[in-house]
Amino acid sequence: MPAAADRGEAFPAELSQQIKARFNHVDHDFKGRQRLYFENAGGALRLKAAVEAAGKVDAIPDCPERIHEVAVWLKEVQVRGVEDVRLLLNAQGGTVHASLTASGAMFDMVRAVAENVPGDNIVTTVLEHPSSYDAAAQYAQRLGKELRVAPSNRVTGGVDVEEIVRRIDERTCMLVVIYASNISGAKLDLEQVVRRAREVKPDLYIVVDAVQHAPHGLIDLRKTPVDAINIAPYKFYGCRGSGFSWLSDRAAVLPHHKLAARSADFWDLGSSAPWQFAVMTEIVNYVCWIGGQFDSGGDRRALFARGMERIGLHERALLARLLEGSPGVPGLRLLPAVKVLLDHDDLSRRDLILAIALEGLDHTQAVREYEKRGVIVYERVASSIYSGRMLDSLGLDGAVRVSPLHCHTFEDVDRFLEVTREICAAVAR
């Protein structure tokens, strides 16, 4: 059982209800059917304010590059959104890049470094999302560079810092690394990775995939000074069809696709979509609102940091409840027909994602059984292009991935545990 200090702290009940009310479709699907959506590592529940802002701003026909009043207002929306991306990351200088997807931006950022920074090898990890792993692999192959891949830790479900650092040398072109696993929820110690990697090569370019981790924990580029990082607003309570990245001053001016008349550090191509930026501002507004429920002091970044801290504590409490249950409802660790995969006791090193297996059911069948009972989870199977490499590295043939969000409550977790027990009992009969 995790130590008390690692069990987090749930939101007060009244605040939890206020939080839940700010999201669409938390307790029911769009047809009004009762549903528990525990698949937020794939899709993600949306803030009402984000969806409303996207619709309002995108309905405006004006181009933000014009001089009339409405166009100027749209430009201001965009400027605020850029400022809020910087605030979210605690980034100074550099360039904010808006794209259709975070995956597309990852390929572009990896290409810019691989093609223009000297070095005969690229270092990455086996747990990367395909957008970062495949980008690193493809450009390593095209450019004749060695691809060095750090293995996973089958106990923690993450990647050890030492396994990454030992593959870096003075000839490494760049490190491409994920912030947290989207199978196990294991968080990499990015601060230590950056510090120790730069001890080996002080000018090393580091590219980070933060898509999975960003909604669950605070990012601080002052503490982790990387060269490129991406997030996906749709996993951060926002809307699909949008990705945001930040590039350091030196990374931003590497040769990349751009209009000739644009400045060397400009990365956006084509007309901007102001709704993307409006959504980012609503995300930051919301997290700041949570922070202000506990202490209204400090600037906008301080409120945001406090909000993310409280989100992390609440999610850790949900994770502890999932694992250990309560006096009335046994947790997953206590159900004999359930195996919690990649389980370990330090919950502070885990985001709110669980991988489980149910005795007597393959993973796809288990997902179907959950759906019959109004619970949405996801099967991670070896045949999936998004899962195979990572599962193989972890010694798994698959898993049922369970990924709630901070807008869920202990009551939601207890319902999931009761459904799990019901499924196991039905299989045993």
Domain CATH for 224: 3.40.640.10
In a domain, 290, yes or no: no
The segments of the chain whose pLDDT lies below 70 read 1-5
Question: Helix, strand, coil proportions of the chain in percent (round to 5)?
Answer: 40, 15, 40
The total number of residues written for the chain in this structure: 429
In a domain, 293, yes or no: no
pLDDT at 280: 99
Cα–Cα distance measured from residue 323 to residue 275, given in angstroms and rounded to the nearest whole number = 39
pLDDT at 429: 75
Final residue belonging to a domain, choices 218, 250, 285: 285
| Whether residue 188 is found in the same domain as residue 281 | yes
pLDDT at 383: 86
Supply the range of the domain harboring residue 338. Answer: 4-51+299-428
Only one residue has tokens 């690394």, namely: 177
Q: Give the Cβ contact number of residue 66 at 10 Å.
A: 12
| Whether residue 346 is found in the same domain as residue 275 | no
| Whether residue 33 is found in the same domain as residue 58 | no
pLDDT at 43: 84
Q: What is the DSSP string of 348-402?
A: GGB-S-EEEEETTS-HHHHHHHHHHTTEE-EEEETTSTTTHHHHHHTT-SEEEEE
Per-residue three-class SS string for 60-117: CCCCCCCCCHHHHHHHHHHHHHHHHHHHHHCCCCCEEEEECCHHHHHHHHHHHHHHHC
How many domains are there within the chain?
2
Q: Give the Cβ contact number of residue 198 at 10 Å.
A: 16
Only one residue has tokens 């009004």, namely: 32
The single-letter DSSP state of residue 211 is T
| Whether residue 245 is found in the same domain as residue 271 | yes
pLDDT at 1: 41
Laid out side by side, the sheet with 398-402 consists of 338-341, 354-358, 398-402, 378-381
Q: What is the CATH number of the domain that holds 312?
A: 3.90.1150.10
| Whether residue 331 is found in the same domain as residue 410 | yes
User: Given phi > 0 = left and psi -120 to 50 = alpha, else beta, which region is 48?
Assistant: alpha
In a domain, 268, yes or no: yes
| Whether residue 114 is found in the same domain as residue 201 | yes
